[in-house]
Amino acid sequence: MKVTKDLISQAVEKNNGFWAFGEKQFLEQYKKHLKPYVSLGNGLYAPKKTYKQLIIDINTATSKGYKNAKR
C-alpha cells in the first residue's frame, strides 16, 4: 500500500492539491494565483482548473495499488 500512498501524494502535489482540516490550515496552504479552489471531500482541496485531473490521477494510483495487492 505504500506505493499507492506515494502515487496519491505525487498526484496531489502535481495538481497543486492539499489537505486542510480547518480554515487556518486552508489559508496557510492555498496559493492566491490558483484560486478558486474546489473541496473534494475529506479535507482535500485542489484548484478548480486541476481538480478533474487530480481525481483521474488518484483513481489511476488506487487502481495500480489494487492490481499490485492482488498479485
Q: pLDDT by residue (tens digit) across 7-52? A: 999 999 999 999 999 999 999 999 999 999 999 999 999 999 999 9
Q: What's the whole-model pTM score?
A: 0.82
Q: How confident is the model at residue 2 (pLDDT cuts 50, 70, 90)?
A: low
**What pLDDT, on the 0 to 100 scale, is given for residue 65?**
61
**Does 35 fall in a domain?**
yes
**What pLDDT, on the 0 to 100 scale, is given for residue 69?**
54
**Does 57 fall in a domain?**
yes
**Does 71 fall in a domain?**
no
* Angle, CA of 16, 50 and 24, to the nearest 5°: 45
**Does 51 fall in a domain?**
yes
CA–CA separation, 40 and 49 (whole Å)? 13
**What pLDDT, on the 0 to 100 scale, is given for residue 10?**
95
Point out which residues pair with 39 in neighbouring strands.
45
> Domain containing 51: what range?
2-7+23-66
